[in-house]
Chains A and B, each alone.
Chain A
Amino acid sequence: MEEQLKNINTLPALTWNHLGVNRAELIAQQTGKSTASIPEEFGRIKTGMGEEAADFAAHNCTDYHVIEAEAGKEIIDAESMRYSLADEHPTVDVTLIHAHEGSSVTVLQSYTSADNTACFHGGLTKIIADKGAWVRLVQVQMLNNRSRHFDDVGFLLGDGAHAEIVQAELGGKDAFAGCLALLEGYQSSFGADTIYLGEEDRRLDMNYIARHTGRKTTSDMTAAGALFGHSDKIYRGTIDFIRGASHSVGHEVENTLLFSPEARNRTVPLILCSEEDVDGQHAATIGKINAQRLFYLLSRGLTEAQAKQLVIEAQFAPAIAKVPDTALQDAIKEYLGRRMQLD
């Protein structure tokens, strides 16, 4: 059974409707599985894709993980959340991570297709980083070109906590990602590193929100992507300074490489200030891989595919380096290499 979700990746401050970037809709596949219990402490955490997506995930949960790092402990989980999907098993994973005071947590979630059937994946991950905790969530999506996918994430940061998300949205037919970080704690910091690949008629829809309520908080959001074919991408990045978040700083940068004139590239950077004493900046570059640069690379013996791969990998390298498994890092590069051969 399919379920239509109508308020997905909603922009925190709506803009002209005709731009078509205020929100997205997605068709989710019900799993008929039980409801995941979300403990109260996680209940208040908002997510980037919004309540409809989060509720859907909670009500269709097929895989439930709770990770709790006790004070001062370190947890690295790069194994238990690797999903290989096929159409008879729509997968909806719900993961709750609580990093207690001074702990350190690294979690890897990866999604690949077992075959070339159309599959569905939905994911909800909620994270609490207590005082002085350090958390890195890495999500890698390399589903086949027929699949649908969403990944919804929410962070809550305490005093001096640092949390970051690394998302590689590299596959699928429709891919949705959203992340909201609530920087509540004094001097807490948040980083987002997103890389995306659009090809054929893939639709990519992303929504990132850094909401600063604590004093001296920092957010840094970076996205780098490459668009081929008829792909269609929306990236929304919002830095939201709430009254009281004085002396806070937020940056966002997006670098898009456009390889196809038919690809659609929309970027919505938004800086909201209800606090005056803050510093918010955004920058976006759109690089056509210009013909002259390509000729230069080819003149050194690189094939067109190699040249494109080189340029893209250069953009993606900082994010790929954060994937906590070198074999998967190589698999990502190999995957990109294969995609370039097809273009």
Chain B
Amino acid sequence: MAEKLLEVSGLHASVEDKEILSGLDLNVSAGETHVIMGPNGAGKSTLGNVILGNPEYIINAGKILFEGADITREKTDARARRGIFMSFQSPEEVPGVTLEDFLRVSKTAVTGKPLKVFAFKKQLKKTMAALNMDESYAQRYLNVGFSGGEKKKAEILQMLTLQPKLAILDETDSGLDVDAVRIVSEGIRQYKNESNALLIITHNAKILEGLKVDYVHILTDGKIVHTGGPELIDEISRDGFHRWEESAAQ
């Protein structure tokens, strides 16, 4: 059996006294690719934030385990160092800190080892080329003045640099043009192997092309109401979430 990476059970989370996740269960093992789909406002981004321990969200019940360790109350940076990563739906701008410097600092932080600068630079150049990012972006301030699509590429560049065990991609495809989606999916394919896992939040099937999807979860009203295989993607593209929302209401 594949090694369990993430185990979320009975998770209730709220923000400003409003419950957003209400009894969510999710298990992700090494080697797997999971897709989460759901209507706007269902709680998908919230789930990503809670898995990474964003202090804005209060956990009222439930547990999050990562590689068997209870991380429900752990700080965000500790979780990141365990190998959890999220590509943000809206990445933050950080004036004054160049993309390259930031990658360097975070790579050192997650590995806990001093960086081999030469090898790092070489790899960075290669990865940027693969993502069709101009080299000059390495010297620009992180996400400052980046277009929507450029920010998403920079997120994937971070994922490829940090090589997390679990990568949560929150609508990484939105804002990308047709060619960019292809390039980014290729990057994701390169990243994926038997010991890591993907949790892809998307409204759009395009980014999944060429990826072997193991499970598709439907998230509505703060819960996963249905789990199926990749065939669900087409069904949802065609019929929307209506069916699941109704069944959730019953």
Q: List 24 A-B contacts (CB under 8 A).
A: A291-B55, A292-B56, A293-B92, A293-B93, A295-B49, A295-B56, A295-B76, A296-B92, A299-B77, A299-B86, A300-B80, A300-B85, A300-B162, A301-B77, A301-B80, A301-B81, A302-B105, A302-B109, A306-B105, A310-B94, A310-B105, A313-B96, A314-B94, A314-B95
B83-109 interface with A by 8 A CB criterion: 85-86, 88, 91-97, 102, 105-106, 109
B97:A311 contact, CB within 8 angstroms:
yes
How near does chain B come to A87, taking the closest CB pair, in angstroms?
A: 37
B52 contacts across to A, CB distance below 8 A: 295, 299
CB pair A303–B88 under 8 Å, yes or no, is no
Chain B residues, Cβ within 8 Å of A300 = 80, 85, 102, 105-106, 109-110, 158, 162
Q: Does A297 interact with chain B (Cβ within 8 Å)? A: yes
Report yes or no: A298 in contact with B92, Cβ–Cβ below 8 A.
no
Chain B nearest CB from A230 CB (Å) reads 23
A84 to B250 CA separation, bound complex (whole angstroms): 75
Residues of A in contact with B (beta carbons under 8 Å apart) = 291-293, 295-304, 306, 310-311, 313-315, 317
CB pair A299 B85 closer than 8 Å: yes
Interface string of B2-24 (1 = CB under 8 A from A): 00000000000000000000000
Within 8 A of A (CB), among B58-79: 75-77
| Structural contact, A314 and B109, CB atoms closer than 8 A | no
**A109 to B110 CA separation, bound complex (whole angstroms):** 39
Q: Are B86 and A315 in touch, CB under 8 angstroms?
A: no
**Nearest CB of B to A213, in Å:** 35
- CB contacts (< 8 Å) of A292 on chain B: these are 56, 92
- A311–B94 CB distance below 8 A: yes
Most chain A beta-carbon neighbours within 10 Å: one of B49, B77, B88, B102: B77
Q: Report the bound CA distance from A301 to B162 in whole Å.
A: 10
Please report the C-alpha to C-alpha distance between residue A306 and residue B112 in the assembled complex, in whole angstroms.
Answer: 13
> Looking at chain B, what size class is its interface with the partner chain?
20 to 34
B54's nearest neighbour on chain A, judged by CB, is A295
Apart from A295-B56, A302-B109, A313-B96, what 9 extra A-B contacts exist at CB < 8 Å? A295-B52, A295-B76, A298-B75, A299-B77, A299-B80, A299-B85, A300-B106, A302-B106, A311-B94
The residue in A292, A298, A315 that gathers the most chain B C-beta atoms within 10 A of its C-beta is: A298
Bound-state CA distance A298–B86 (Å) is: 11
* Most A C-beta atoms less than 10 A away, residue of B91, B106, B158: B106
Q: CA–CA, A299 to B52, complex, Å?
A: 7
A residues less than 8 Å from B94 (CB atoms): 293, 296-297, 310-311, 314
For residue B165, give the distance in angstroms from its CB to the closest CB of chain A. Answer: 13
Contact partners of A311 in chain B: CB under 8 A: 94, 96-97
Q: Report how far A310 CA is from B109 CA in the complex, Å.
A: 13
Given the complex, which residues of A lie within 8 Å of B56, measured CB to CB?
A: 291-292, 295
**What is the distance, in angstroms, from B157's C-beta to the closest C-beta of chain A?**
12
Chain B contacts of A315 at CB under 8 A? 96
Give chain B residues whose Cβ lies under 8 Å from the Cβ of A302: 77, 105-106, 109
Enumerate chain B residues within 8 angstroms of A299, measured Cβ to Cβ: 52, 76-77, 80, 85-86, 88
Contacts A301-B162, A306-B105, A311-B96; A296 near B77 (Cβ below 8 A): no
Given contacts A295-B55, A314-B96, A314-B97, A301 and B109 within 8 Å (CB-CB): yes
Residue on A with the closest CB to B103? A300
Tell me how far the C-beta of B37 lies from the nearest C-beta in chain A, rounded to whole angstroms: 23
Rounded to whole angstroms, the CA-CA distance of A301 and B169 in the bound complex is 17
- Are A317 and B96 in contact (CB-based, < 8 A)? yes
Please give the distance in Å from A203's CB to the nearest CB on chain B: 26
Residue pair B80, A296 in contact (C-beta under 8 Å): no
Residue among A296, A298, A301, A310 making CB contact with B91, cutoff 8 Å: A296
CB distance from B109 to the nearest CB of A (A): 4
Contact A304 B105 (CB under 8 A): no
CB < 8 Å: which of A296, A306, A313, A317 contacts B109? A306
Known: A291-B56, A310-B105. A301 touches B110 (CB 8 A): yes
Q: Mark B191-218, 1 if CB is under 8 A from A, else 0.
A: 0000000000000000000000000000
Which residues of A have CB within 8 Å of B95?
A: 314
* Interface pair A298/B77, CB less than 8 Å apart: yes
Asked if residues B80 and A298 are in contact (CB atoms below 8 Å), the reply is: yes
Query: Quick one: which of A298, A300, A302 has the most chain B CB within 10 A?
Result: A300
